[in-house]
Chain A
Amino acid sequence: MKAATLGLCVKWALIGALVGVVANYYLYRVWLPIAPFVYQAF
């Protein structure tokens, strides 16, 4: 595999990993009873 492709893979795997962590954190935060700030719901 070319170095450029490898670099690309690592970069996007890291971005994917960040997204995965955010998804996990989202699930955690959603369970906390924090009154949400509502800008415009209707």
Chain B
Amino acid sequence: MAGQYGNEPMMEMFLFETSQLLEQLEQLILTCEKSNCYTEDTVNEIFRIMHTIKGSSAMMMQDSISTISHSMEDLFYFLRESKPQKIDNSALSDLVLEGVDLIKIEVEKLKNGDKADGNTSELQGRIKSLLSDFQMSNSSSNTVKDRKLLVNKEQQYYLSQDKTRINTAKYKNAFKATIHFEEGCEMENIRAYEIVHNIRDITDEFFHIPERIIEDDSCAEIIRQEGFKLFLRTDSSYEELHEFFMETLFLKDLELVQIEIDDYYRLYDEKQEITSKNISVSNRSSGEESEEIRETHSVSSQQNIISVNMTKLDKLMDLVGEMVIAEDMVIQNPDLKGMELENFQKASRQLQKITGEI
């Protein structure tokens, strides 16, 4: 069988596995059709199959297969996360089977040595339309409307807030780093987040542009175009900091400059002003002028608001406090004095990083 499809073992394996997954998928859909019900396990399994086909076809540069499997993955992501009550099972099964048929045709073309160049836009449009129907008919329930919304909802609890002038004498140096990532590395905003996460080993006083790297997907594009700008105060030297940044994976270009401490705060103020203006403009354009004054006072007021039971919040605060104390008791434990515990120290640093974020 080796070499049967021209592209050698990788193509062979891709076609073999995709065909197997499609068969599995068909069986699952037929079972659901019979029972007129999509169980949680089935939805998870279909999501996983579509995710696998999407990833593998993307690796093989098979866009038609990747596009359709991506659309179906989105559909089942919604079903998995939102668990909607009102679903037209029959319409869902029909559309998924159509998707399976289309992918099968594309797979056949590849097996015959032809190009998989099928037109997916019509089916893709209908999948999107079914997804928005599901979203509309389930919008009153406490569900997540789409993946983007889920990203925002989940991430609002993890906002990294800029450090303000807590203590101007705390660190002696100030730096500005502009980081460009290699083209095609993808998820530049999450790569920037990795840097922010790791910089906490060096300092707790920093801010960055763009600011909402986790909450706002468009930051990936901004970072791609303009780079990720990180301003920080630290006791580390230029060389130490340079070494830190050079460890960044997919780093294309680093511009690191030491700046005056006054400049650090001036830039911080400028950033705050720009952020506030942007929020005002964005609100004005969406017809919410009345909110402008309140929102320009604080960046954080732009974030989504959730209701939290005060008793639970107090308890959570207490637990966090206790956790930090317990952490200190473990890490600073006198029994450990003089002992060389490299792994323990690394684990402690990780723990401190996480509790620091909490």
Q: Do A and B bind each other?
A: no
> Chain A interface (Cβ within 8 Å of chain B)?
none
